[in-house]
Amino acid sequence: MKKDASKTHIQISKQKGKIKVSGSINLGYIGNFKNSQTEIRTSSGRIDFVVISPKTIFLFEFKLNKSAEEALRQIDEKEYEKKFSFDGKHVWKIGVNFSSEKRTVDEWKIVG
């Protein structure tokens, strides 16, 4: 399922030989959330972005010039959801692929 990412603002730049992706994604559909964090460490890697709402946890994995499916595969292979299994909240996994050519989100997929 490919999503329309027209409500995003993304800036892609190259600094000191590294690609930097920054910007914002409209998360208004999530509702009120109490916490968001980036680069959350787990025993198997780092989760790119996490949003915690009263009843739900959203795990985001970002890729550049790859695929949303590859981002979701990483969430599953590294078992990122285990870090939040004690919480009893529903976990949504969101894979996002950015395009350096289009300079925006190319596709995103949600599994939950």
Residue 68 domain flag: yes
Average pLDDT of the residues in 49-78: 91
Which band of pLDDT confidence, cut at 50, 70 and 90, is reported for residue 9?
very low
Residue 47 domain flag: yes
Average pLDDT of the residues in 15-41: 59
Residue 6 domain flag: no
pLDDT at 68: 94
Residue 18 domain flag: no
CATH of the domain at 70: 3.40.1350
pLDDT at 11: 53
Q: Which domain holds residue 105?
A: 26-111
Name the domain count of the chain. 1
Contact 94, 59 (CB under 8 A): yes
Which band of pLDDT confidence, cut at 50, 70 and 90, is reported for residue 4?
very low
* Average pLDDT value over all residues in the chain: 76
Residue 19 domain flag: no
Q: Is pLDDT of 85 > 90? A: no
pLDDT at 45: 86
Q: Is pLDDT of 71 > 90? A: yes
pLDDT at 5: 40
The number of beta carbons lying within 10 Å of the beta carbon of residue 51 is 18
d(CA 95, CA 107): 8
pLDDT at 23: 53
Percentage of residues of the chain with pLDDT beyond 90: 28
Residue 30 domain flag: yes
Helix (H, G, I), strand (E, B) or coil at 89: coil
